[in-house]
Structure 1
Amino acid sequence: MSDQTSIFHLHLVSDSTGETVDGVARACVAQFPDVQAHEHVWPLIRTDAQLARVLADIERHPGIVLYTVFNSEIRRKLEEGCRRIQVPHSHVLDTTITMMAGYLGQQSRGRIGALHKMDEDYFNRIEAIDYALSHDDGQATWDLEDADVVIVGVSRTSKTPTSVYLANRGIKTANIPFVPGCPVPPELDQLKKPLVIGLIKDVDQLVSIRKNRLRQIERGEGGDYVDPVAVRAEVFQARRYFTERNWKIINVTRRSIEETAAMIMAILNDRREENE
């Protein structure tokens, strides 16, 4: 691949939903900021006819092939096809599974869709997602005690996507906006079980994001909502409010949603270990 090439074809093949290979691929591509992947996503590939369509597309658009295929026959044919077309290919879980098998002294079972079986964890995730959606942006505050995490933050600190991300990992999360001059729900000061997290952001970035948001929804100038002096006072007030209650504070200025969620999960795990 030449240095001038900025786009390459990336084929993601799975005999299940494809979520695993997609996640690994995105994490890897993110390490190469000067390139862009043109993704060809192929989930639920379980028959020869389906595989033939995949290989035909790979031949039309040669590139990198990443896969999570546990059916031995389909995997063999996919790998043979990739060798024939002469494209690089890799099973993204092979190294990790081999390492675990050696450490545990057991052979993996190669179960298709094992990650997505409808077990207790699956239903916990569904329950957490339902909870996050029904407790978004200050809704349904009467049962906040049922949450694992309550996020409080000024506008445009990614409270909702962070809550949904955590919910997808089975963490029941509510989020509440911090708005100057508007009281937060009194239930917040009575919480015993949930971890409460305060989110803040750099003033300049906050003003920029809010202005972009107003342009998108065609809402005019915005007043104090985008005034740097007012926003600085808002962030200061929020930080002081969070500090007075001894809540953990996360500055999300240069953090992705995933990084913010990872920090919250680490704090939650530490808290749970302390309480054991």
Structure 2
Amino acid sequence: MENLVIYIISDSLGETGEQVARASIGQFNINNYEMRKYPYVLDVNFLDEILNEAKNENSIVVYTLVDLELANYVAKFCENNKIPSIDLVSPLLKSISLRTNLKPLREPGTIRKLDEKYFKRVEAIEFAVKYDDGKDPRGLVKSDLVLIGISRTSKTPLSMYLANKNIKVANVPLVPEVPVPKELFEIPSKKIIGLTNTPEKLNEIRQERLKSLGLSSNANYATMERILEEIEYAEKIMKKIGCPIIDVSNKAIEETAGLIINIMKENGLRVYKGFLNS
């Protein structure tokens, strides 16, 4: 049997066409075949070169082209030259359009864009974990945003929530006995947001925290005197930096995150639109 050549033509990576072709060829006892993959085919001239090569061989054309002009060109060329061809995209797009009454975007590479979106989110989450709780002050310079505040002001939950919006967040705890990292004063104040809470709420939260750890609720960490000292210390630092301050006492994480994103926009900081509703 003459060697079979399967042409895989795509306006993206061509992985879908390749996987379908390999799954299909696996159903036959064929050894003399080859696959030629042509990714990122975005113009008719390039497409024409590929198809003219295919017409001179014992070929099959498999294509995943969302551009209607290119898809129609392949269909017509293959029909005129009696080349078996399979359009893996258009029939499904038509079916989805029929059921939803929506028109397809016909934009190449949308799957790849989704992948990029996913990996950017993962990168932001890994960043938040790496630079949580002041672990490494070097992360402050690399961050999109820095959250500062005393213990139990939702720094970590907010960092993770914002990371899921593709915002790289570092956070720094403010403790009277621990020097503030010098990097905090080396970055623009508009990149910093201070978080605070009411003494009563902090007292309640900290006592519950101690109980969950099996410690006495009378420990200095949860006393009103200690809490007031920490709040006063934190406020001095925040005023020195000149950053906005948000009271998180009666706010859900989502609400506080919304306020932070609005402040970032007002300060001209980059906010990734494609992730705000994800």
* Contact 1:199–1:252 under 8 Å retained in 2: yes
The change in CA–CA distance for 1:71 and 1:209 in structure 2 (over 3 A counts) is farther
The change in CA–CA distance for 1:117 and 1:180 in structure 2 (over 3 A counts) is same
* Contact 1:144–1:174 under 8 Å retained in 2: yes
Amino acid at match of 1:257: I
* Contact 2:189–2:243 under 8 Å retained in 1: no
* Contact 1:252–1:260 under 8 Å retained in 2: yes
Counterpart in the other structure of 2:63: none
Counterpart in the other structure of 1:125: 121
SS at the partner of 1:118?
Answer: helix
Q: Aligned to 1:179, which of 175, 181, 192? A: 175
Aligned residues with identical type, % of pairs: 37
Shift of 1:125: 1.3
* Contact 1:145–1:192 under 8 Å retained in 2: no
The change in CA–CA distance for 1:248 and 1:163 in structure 2 (over 3 A counts) is same
Shift of 1:116: 9.8
Amino acid at match of 1:152: I
Alpha-carbon distance between aligned partners in 2 of 1:201 and 1:121, rounded to the nearest angstrom? 34
Counterpart in the other structure of 2:247: 251
Q: Aligned to 2:133, which of 130, 137, 152? A: 137
Which runs of structure 2 are paired with 1:1-276 in the superposition (5 Å)? 107=103, 118-192=114-188, 195-272=191-268
Query: What do residues 133-168 of structure 1 show as CA deviations (whole Å, max 9, x unaligned)?
Result: 100111121231110000011101111110000000
Shift of 1:250: 0.5
Counterpart in the other structure of 1:25: none
| RMSD of aligned Cα (Å) | 3.1
Shift of 1:220: 1.9
* Contact 2:132–2:156 under 8 Å retained in 1: yes
* Contact 1:166–1:172 under 8 Å retained in 2: yes
Counterpart in the other structure of 1:3: none
Gaps of 5+ in 2: 1-92, 271-278
Amino acid at match of 1:248: P
* Contact 2:189–2:242 under 8 Å retained in 1: no
Shift of 1:254: 0.4
SS at the partner of 2:194?
Answer: strand
Shift of 1:191: 1.1
Counterpart in the other structure of 1:57: none
Alpha-carbon distance between aligned partners in 1 of 2:136 and 2:148, rounded to the nearest angstrom? 14
Aligned length: 175
Amino acid at match of 1:189: F
Gaps of 5+ in 1: 1-69, 77-93, 102-106
Alpha-carbon distance between aligned partners in 1 of 2:233 and 2:145, rounded to the nearest angstrom? 22
The change in CA–CA distance for 1:158 and 1:247 in structure 2 (over 3 A counts) is same
Alpha-carbon distance between aligned partners in 2 of 1:237 and 1:162, rounded to the nearest angstrom? 22
* Contact 1:225–1:231 under 8 Å retained in 2: yes
The change in CA–CA distance for 1:71 and 1:129 in structure 2 (over 3 A counts) is farther
Amino acid at match of 1:172: K
The change in CA–CA distance for 1:199 and 1:165 in structure 2 (over 3 A counts) is same
In the superposition, the TM-score normalised over structure 2's length comes to 0.56
* Contact 1:132–1:164 under 8 Å retained in 2: yes
Q: Which has the larger radius of gyration?
A: 2
